[in-house]
Structure 1
Amino acid sequence: MSTLAVVSAGLGQPSSTRLLADRLAEAASGALRSGGADVAVETVELRDHAHAMVDAALTGFPAGAFRAAVETVAGADGLIAVTPVFNASYSGLFKTFFDVVEPGALEGTPVLLGATGGTARHSLAIDFAMRPLFAYLRAAAVPTAVYAASEDWGSTGSGLADRIARAGGELAAMIAGRPAAAKDDPYDDPVPFEDLLAGR
């Protein structure tokens, strides 16, 4: 079973950011299933965790439902990360979430990047803001990212559906080709206390 985590940083409800995240998840999970894999999709709406994210940034410890959301993302086989573009970059909500994720938690994780904005002129934010962020986190971003401007929705000539399908296929291929992560828990087989006392 492959787990696909989807992070949506949309502020509205509904939002075009969540819509793009859902379309990308459908494309990636469909490509995985067509290859014979079972896949579970888990979506994290950051707006639902806004206060908990600030608390975690201040204390260094995510708690409650937000902790479960962070663990979902850190433990996934693949990640879809979608943000609205504000002031030529990702949103503060989006950045705060990835600031809270433990260092190394996303190392080697295949990730599909997506963004939404009012006009196409914001599309470069994916390459000059999002890609460097995930490179720093040592995640493996797929080649095709998807930016959706307002005019892309409902436009037959925008090519949005083709970009979504291509990006979803690339993410599925990376997940399918990734070695299975080690699931060993060092606490499953603890050293007996007597042996510790005896120095063994």
Structure 2
Amino acid sequence: MTVVPESVVTETDEDRRTIAVVHAGLGQPSSTRLLADRLADATARELEALGHEVTVEVVELRDHGHAIVDAMLTGFPTGDLARAIETITQADGVIAVTPLFTTTYSGLFKSFVDILDKEALTGMPVLLGATGGTPRHSLALEYSLRPLFTYLRADVVTTSVFAATDDWAQAGGEEHDDGGSSLPQRIERAGRSLAGVVSARGEHAKPADPFSSTPSFLDLLGGD
């Protein structure tokens, strides 16, 4: 995984992919951050196997809590929050992970989504993850979180990952007694799903710069 300065542009830029990871974990350490990191690692490994250079950018919503509330009141995200939103919307793919409270996404996570422009994630490949205390809450990914991103017209990959407390205690990649996949196996499968979409998406799918064809002042003045 390589971190590349934005100012460096080479002939290999078309093979570079940026993954933005946004999570709403509240603690440090956080099982939500742990799941987000493992999903990012799995995705990056698969993209590298497909021949891409990968940059991973992490946005911790707990660091922007006050700014998110301010943006909800004013309608204008500023400062570090504005830069975090730009990181997410300009990425090639997004991994979004939230803890579940009362069987749905956290208030912090939803508040962040509420301040995004409704067109900001149109067509964006998104991998969903969630953490909670019991496997009984896993369906919240499908009846709560997935519809939220479908409404935003994101390209949500089929595979999502829920991690219950007991999942972290399992050893290695062993299967469950009921034949289901272990957490490491689900993470790897999800990473492959997102990587495949991001790899195929390519640079041409990024939003065009609306000012790219605007002439400079020097051009307007007829200077050399």
Q: Give the TM-score normalised by structure 1.
A: 0.92
2:145 equivalent to 1:130: yes
Aligned residues: 193
1:185 to 189, 194, 209: 209
Report what 2:17 is aligned to: 2
- Letter of the aligned partner of 1:168 in structure 2? G
1:101 to 98, 116, 119: 116
Task: Please state whether the residue corresponding to 1:153 is helix, strand or coil.
Answer: helix
Identify unmatched segments of 5+ residues in structure 1.
Answer: 194-200
Q: Report % sequence identity.
A: 57
Shift of 1:88: 0.7
Identify unmatched segments of 5+ residues in structure 2.
Answer: 1-15, 177-181, 218-224
Shift of 1:192: 8.7
Residues 115 and 146 in structure 1, CA contact (< 8 A), matched pair in contact too: yes
- Letter of the aligned partner of 1:44 in structure 2? V
Report what 1:172 is aligned to: 195
1:127-183 per-position Cα deviation (integer Å, ceiling 9, x unaligned): 000010000000011111000000000213450000000000000000011142356
Shift of 1:188: 3.5
Report what 1:160 is aligned to: 183
Report what 1:198 is aligned to: none
- In 2, distance between residues paired with 1:25 and 1:17? 12
Residues 74 and 101 in structure 1, CA contact (< 8 A), matched pair in contact too: no
Shift of 1:102: 1.1
2:38 equivalent to 1:23: yes
Compute the RMSD of aligned alpha carbons.
1.5
1:66 to 81, 91, 99: 81
